[in-house]
Structure 1
Amino acid sequence: MSKFQFVVFDWDGTLMDSIGRIVSSMQRTAEHIGLAVPSEQATKDIIGLSLEPAIERLFGVLDSQKKQIFLERYKDEYVTLNTVASPMFDDAVNSLEALRSSNVQLGVATGKARRGLDRVWQETNMAQFFPYSRCANESKGKPNPDMLIELMHEAGYSPDNTVMVGDSIHDMKMASAAGVFPIGVTMGAHRADQLKAAGAEYIASSLTELSNFILKERL
Structure 2
Amino acid sequence: MQHKVAIFDWDGTLVDSVEHIAQSLHLAATDLGFPALEREAYRDIIGLGIVEALETLYPGITREEMRRIRDNYGRYFFAKTTTPQNVFAGMTEVLVDLKAAGRGCAVATGKSRRGLDAALQSSGLGEHFDLTRCADETRSKPDPAMLVEILDFYGIDAGDAVMIGDTRYDLEMARRIGMPSIGVEWGVHDRVVLGEYDPCAVVDTVAGLREVLGL
70-79 or 131-140, larger mean C-alpha shift: 131-140
In the TM superposition, 1:37-186 aligns within 5 A as: 37-80=36-79, 87-186=86-185
Q: Distance in 2 between matches of 1:99 and 1:17?
A: 21
Aligned counterparts of 2:119 and 2:176: Cα–Cα separation in 1: 28
**Residue in structure 2 matched with residue 17 of structure 1 by the alignment:** 16
Cα deviation per residue 1:125-169 (whole Å; 9 max; x = unaligned)? 211110111111111110001110110011121112110000000
How far is the alpha carbon of 1:208 from its aligned partner? 3.0
CA distance in 1, matches of 2:118, 2:19: 18
Q: CA deviation at 1:28?
A: 1.1
Aligned residues between the structures: 214
Q: Is 2:193 the partner of 1:194? A: yes
Give ranges in structure 2 of 5+ residues lacking alignment. Answer: none
Give the distance between the partners of 1:171 and 1:153, measured in 2 at CA.
19
CA contact (8 A) 1:112 1:135 kept: yes
Amino acid paired to 2:211? N
SS where residue 31 of structure 2 aligns?
helix
CA contact (8 A) 1:3 1:163 kept: no
Distance 1:169 1:18, change over 3 A: same
The question of whether the paired residues in 2 share the 8 Å contact of 1:132 and 1:155 is answered with no
Separation in 1 of the partners of 2:95 and 2:165? 14
Change (3 A) 1:84 1:20: farther
Name the CA distance, whole Å, in 1 between partners of 2:153 and 2:101: 21
Amino acid at match of 1:64: R
Cα distance in structure 2, aligned partners of 1:208 and 1:5: 20
Secondary structure of the corresponding residue to residue 16 of structure 2? coil
- For residues 128 and 64 of structure 2, what CA distance do their matches in structure 1 show? 39
Matched to 2:179, the amino acid is V
C-alpha deviation, 1:198, in angstroms:
2.4
| Maintained 8 Å contact 1:95/1:208 | no
Matched residue SS, 2:7:
strand
- Give me the whole-angstrom Cα distance separating, in 1, the residues matched to 2:22 and 2:81: 12
Extract unaligned runs of 5+ from structure 1.
Answer: none
Query: How far apart, in 2, do the equivalents of 1:100 and 1:206 lie?
Result: 20
Root-mean-square deviation over aligned CA pairs: 1.7
